[in-house]
Amino acid sequence: MIPPLATKTGQLWASLESFKAILYPYVDGHNGVEAKLSEDHWDQFGATIKMLHSTDIPAKITKDISRETFSSKWRETVKSFLVRIENEVFEEPVAVKTSAFLKSKSSEIIKLVERAEELAITVQEQRLAYVLCHADMHGWNLMVDQENALYIVDWDTLIFAPPERDLMFVGAGIWDSGLTAAEEESLFYQGYGQTKINQDAMAYYRFERIIQDIGDYCEYIFLSDEGGQNRMQCFETLTTCFSHLWCHRESIWCHRQRGSSPWMSRKINGKLTD
């Protein structure tokens, strides 16, 4: 991670009225989507996340960090917007396009929500280990500087959760890494090490991420007419929730019998592990 700069009194933050300000050094580089991670970067990425998941941090430091509750917030948000688009006529052009698109995909969205709800119940019935997770671990939150050093940024989403909360991003096709899902997994887990994946938790988090993205974009588009050109960009990004590889693959996997999906195995040093 990028360490913050200390104040003149040696503190890592300063008070600005009711806010706390943290200043970080400028890193001249590109995010992991633009830069395309090297094999060594993927190995470092895996090793760093393993360190995060394994480090025993004193409770006095982590006492204010939230714990996974498998909240239904985004599922309820998406369901409310599905009801709204059936009963409301929109005038703003992007809202009109978004409403029509969501209507055409409503059955798929309902299946996503229902499956996520089922998985949330299933996962909570299991005894899972909770670790400290970054919780937003995708290519846009990785940075490669001019010296080829790798950084992980945006640590404001920390949460205690099953490790799949972070692992779900690897091999899911969420960003264009230039690699296949199997290649991402192989390189990442060489650094992370052999681990047993809870398939229910992995599927839950991938479904929930899709649902959250849909809810986020619906709030941006339907709750305000502001945003200018960003509104159309949001609509275009929303459509990728249904055309992108990771969405389709997860839909297929989660309707198979449990444990029958070979791509959920992890390839470590050329060997597949369960």
pTM of the model: 0.85
- φ, ψ (nearest 5 deg) of residue 146: -65, -20
Please report, rounded to a whole number, the percentage of residues in the chain having pLDDT higher than 70.
88
**Digit-coded pLDDT (tens) for 207-238:** 999 999 999 999 999 998 888 888 999 999 88
What are the DSSP calls for 61-92, one per residue? HHTTS-B-----HHHHHHHHHHHHHHH----S
Cα–Cα distance for residue pair 239/256, rounded to 1 Å: 25
CA-atom Rg of the chain in angstroms: 20
Considering only the C-alpha atoms of the chain, give the largest distance between any 2 of them, rounded to a whole number of Å: 59
pLDDT at 259 over 80: no
What would the mean pLDDT of 243-254 be, rounded to a whole number? 48
Rounded Cα distance, 38 and 182, in Å: 15
Q: What is the dihedral of CA 107, 111, 112, 114, to 10 degrees?
A: 130
pLDDT band at 192 (very low <50, low <70, confident <90, very high): very high
- Indicate whether 163 pLDDT > 90: yes
Question: Which domains does the chain carry?
Answer: 30-263 (1.10.510.10)
